[in-house]
Amino acid sequence: MQIRYLGFEQLKNARAYRFDVVEKGQPNKEFTVTADLALFLEHHVGIQEGPSLCASKLTADLENSCEGEHQLTSADLRAHADARTAEEHRRAEARRSGVRRSVAPATPHEHSPWRNSAT
């Protein structure tokens, strides 16, 4: 199964993201996933993430044989925001506890042209 993003339609305070679902040997089917724009703001998720979040939601719905309307819910956006926060914490912790390169001690350059030779 392959999902292709076709675009969106603005519906007052929501967006309807349109997708084409292509399965080998089957006619293409068009699906729409709606998302309330206020939820993006509430969960601090960028609107540009809408198409990929809706594609993931549609994929999960189709794998679970969910028929009817498809909607990106507050729980979906909360789960995405929580996963993003957990990943940011994991990266920050890896930076804090990671192996650091040690700096080799400086070697004396007694005959360096950059040193003052008047000593």
Residue at 93 is within a domain: no
Residue at 54 is within a domain: yes
- As a whole-number percent, the residues of the chain with pLDDT over 70 amount to 82
Residue at 13 is within a domain: yes
DSSP state of 98: S
pTM of the model: 0.74
Q: How far is CA 27 from CA 24, 58, 61, 72, in A?
A: 8, 18, 19, 25
Beta-carbon count within 10 A of 26 CB = 9
Residue at 100 is within a domain: no
Residue at 26 is within a domain: yes
Residue at 35 is within a domain: yes
Q: Which residues contact 38 (CB under 8 A, 6 or more apart)?
A: 13
pLDDT in tens, 49-80: 999 999 999 999 999 988 889 999 999 999 99
Residue at 40 is within a domain: yes
What totals of helices (H) and strands (E) does the chain contain, helices first? 3, 4
The residue segments making up the domain with residue 40 are 2-80
Number of compact structural domains in the chain:
1
Mean pLDDT to the nearest integer, 11-18: 96
- As a whole-number percent, the residues of the chain with pLDDT over 90 amount to 64
Residue at 19 is within a domain: yes
Per DSSP, the three-state class of 67 is coil
Asked if pLDDT for residue 111 goes beyond 90, the answer is no
Per DSSP, the three-state class of 17 is strand
Top pLDDT among 52 and 104 is at 52
